[in-house]
Chains A and B, each alone.
Chain A
Amino acid sequence: MSTMTHRLRRLRQHLLLCSCLLLIAGFSASVHSEDDQGSHRPSDFGLAGFEWSGFARAVAGYLESDGSSFNGYRDNIRVNQQSLLALQPSYHVSDQLSLTGQFVAHSSDDRDSGTEWLYLNYQPSDAWQLRAGKLRMPFFSYSDSIDVGFSYPWITAPVQVYNNYLFSTFHGASASYRRAGLNYALDIEGYYGYFDGDIFAAGSRVDVDAEVKDLRGIVVKLRSHNIGLRLSYHQGENETDLPELQPLQQGLQQAGFNNLANDLDSKGTIRVSQAALSYDGLTSFYKAEWVKTRTEFSLTPEFTGYYFTAGLHIGSWTPHLTYASSSYGRVRSDTALQPVLADPQNPLFPIAAGYYQIFDAIPDGSMDSYTLGLRWDFQFNMAFKAELTWLNETAPRSGFIEPPSSGLFGEDFGNRKAEATLYQLGWEWIF
């Protein structure tokens, strides 16, 4: 009953936010703006200091599989997984100081609609930019614009990199410095803050209240001619409790297996490293990106993901191909309880069974994917996309393809290598 009430409340929240944003978006479409890169500036409406812009996407997908699901898609057509509408108002107090918000209405139940970011921006000079408030996490090349489908060629950015980041926003401050020389442009960004909210694993929301403190990172972007390089490093102290695991942890401690109990403690340092190299030319583009996440949590000690993509620009058409891959570092369980597991009469058997069941269920496999896509920019601010992605687990339990009725700690991951094909159509709009 409470679940139904919760869903109805969420539905009302989505509908209300969507209605407000649609009204504003409709107003946007009806008013001619001189700025064909979208933003509606103060002079357009006579609202001193105020400007706004936004983006929307409608995505339909169908998964051809044996009943498994992937990224919320199943073997029926779904349009409510990645579709969204967003509004970004800004108020300019002066040339240097502004306040910016971004409000997003998501169609997916996995994402909360509402304020995605809200920050104060201070630009003392062309080179420096300081921001404070609720900001997007700049983990990877597109992670801070992942909702803006217009900003990248795919409908679904390679999940092995972009669906595995833990959270998308943080509270804190960031400082950026930009400089260009004779043959290069450099952009350095550093940030510090904390995160408190929902976390994601393999694209699905994990039902825990996550807390990451002392969150900090640095992003370096270097561009010369048509070649771009992005390197980043991020670190935070995870202080998240996993209530689902606490009874087992307590049981292990009471039985004297403190080391095993510590295996189930998710707290510790999280480190994320990223590197991306790209070539952006007039008629073609190539990009490779690699990420590695390391934690002190024995269930998810290490994750590596990467992709290579290549495409052509033929007028307003952009066909592209992408290969992506991911793998978990070896998840190792302690062998101390193995003898107990062999003896069902042992009073510690339930504890041992529970401990190994978790390690058996946790994703520790790998997956490759091949994506063939086409983007058509039929207007300067609208694009239509079509995409086909073949997903192939190279080791069972990649964490991305889920058999029916499984969850993060579900029992039905099995030992088979799953495969599926995702067909998607998408429409992207910025205004």
Chain B
Amino acid sequence: MRLFLPCLLLLSMPIASTASAEGLKVVANTERNIQLSREQVRNLYMGATLGYGLKPVALPASNRHRSMFNTRVIGLAEARIQSYWAQMRFTGRLRPPTIRLPGRPSRRRRLSASLVSVARSPDCVVPNRLTMLYQAD
């Protein structure tokens, strides 16, 4: 299954209490040193293949951090993203990123639970075993 693949990409959680100080980090549990541009992250989350075997994981549509990610990285409104994925799914072309519910990892997703907790650390430090792919201030 895709979640057992070695590379799992996660949208990190912002840490500061004020919106102006909030930042976004995109990390992956890969040991490869990969740096992505904003456009590459956007492409990855819209279903494109970058060639690194990365599998995007997204937050639920109602999550405000996802809205920030949409605004600052994807550059599309949530409604447009949903309609895009409706088209991809029902034409059999692509599947949307796996959704991770904050704090409620399913049984199958427990492999990624530790990664989720990293994203919530107070100082947003990325642990050694993860690679930060992209950072938006």
What is the interface of chain A, defined by CB distance below 8 A to chain B? 34-39, 43, 53, 55, 86, 88, 95, 100, 102, 117, 119, 121, 126-127, 129, 131, 135-136, 138, 142, 144-145, 147-148, 150-153, 176, 178-180, 182-185, 187, 223-226, 280-283, 285, 313, 316, 318, 375, 377, 380-381, 383, 430
Contacts and interface: CB of A to CB of B under 8 A. Distances in A.
B86 A119 contact: no
28 contacts: A35-B98, A36-B62, A37-B96, A38-B86, A38-B89, A39-B96, A43-B107, A88-B90, A95-B2, A121-B92, A126-B53, A138-B91, A142-B87, A144-B91, A150-B83, A151-B86, A152-B87, A179-B48, A179-B51, A180-B40, A180-B49, A183-B37, A184-B43, A185-B46, A225-B75, A375-B79, A377-B82, A383-B79
B86 A148 contact: yes
Contact of B82 (A37, A95, A126): A37
B85 interface: yes
A136 B91 contact: yes
Contact of B60 (A36, A185, A383, A430): A36
A380 B108 contact: no
Interface string B42-61: 01101111110100000011
User: Interface size bucket, B side?
Assistant: 35 or more
Most chain B Cβ neighbours within 10 Å, of A86, A145, A281: A145
A-B CB proximity, top 3 nearest: A180-B48, A151-B87, A313-B77
Given A95-B2, A313-B79, A35 B44 contact: no
B120 interface: no
B1 interface: yes
A37 B61 contact: yes
Nearest to B36: A182
A180 B44 contact: yes
Given A180-B48, A282-B77, 17 more contacts: A36-B60, A37-B82, A88-B90, A95-B1, A102-B90, A136-B91, A145-B87, A151-B86, A153-B83, A182-B37, A185-B46, A223-B46, A224-B39, A282-B70, A282-B75, A313-B80, A316-B78
Interface string B67-101: 00011000111111011111101111101101101
Contacts of B80: 280, 285, 313
Contacts of B117: none
B99 A37 contact: yes
Contacts of B99: 34-37
A36 B61 contact: yes
Contacts of B48: 178-180, 185, 187, 223
B86 A145 contact: yes
